[in-house]
Amino acid sequence: MVPWSIAVLSVGYGVLATVSLATVWKILGGAVDRPLIWPVAWLALSTTVMCGLPLLKSWARRLAIAGSVALLVTTLAVAGALVASGRPGLGLAATLGAGVHVLIIRYLQRPSVKAWFTEKVSDTF
């Protein structure tokens, strides 16, 4: 059975995958003029993590941590750009939003959570 906290993380990555897919759809439809590489990369990453976390695979935990680090860096870069453009209030809000990624990283590194993702080798054949 999947722990509820891992299920909530999977749903969060599912929402990120859905938003990324909508952005890809808009770019392919011509409604938005942006590079396609970043939305496709986020779509692939978030879909992989969304599907891997409920399977309790160790690679999915490492990928979720790496994805959260990337989202943390991106969020802080956006916060810096907002402050530089003269909107410090929005920059502060973005910085506080980056705390969510820090919490996810810290949670996935707890020993009790790591134990859920250990590869179990069966003694019976």
Q: Can you give the residue ranges of every domain in the chain?
A: 4-116
Q: What is the mean pLDDT of residues 63-70?
A: 88
Cα angle 88, 94, 96; round to 5: 105
Q: What is the mean pLDDT of residues 49-69?
A: 88
**Which of the residue ranges 16-30, 43-57, 83-97 would you say has the lowest mean pLDDT?**
43-57
Q: What is the pLDDT of residue 59?
A: 87
Q: Evaluate the CA torsion angle 52, 54, 58, 60 in order and state its sign.
A: positive
pLDDT band of residue 120 (cuts 50, 70, 90) is low
Q: Model-level pTM greater than 0.85?
A: no
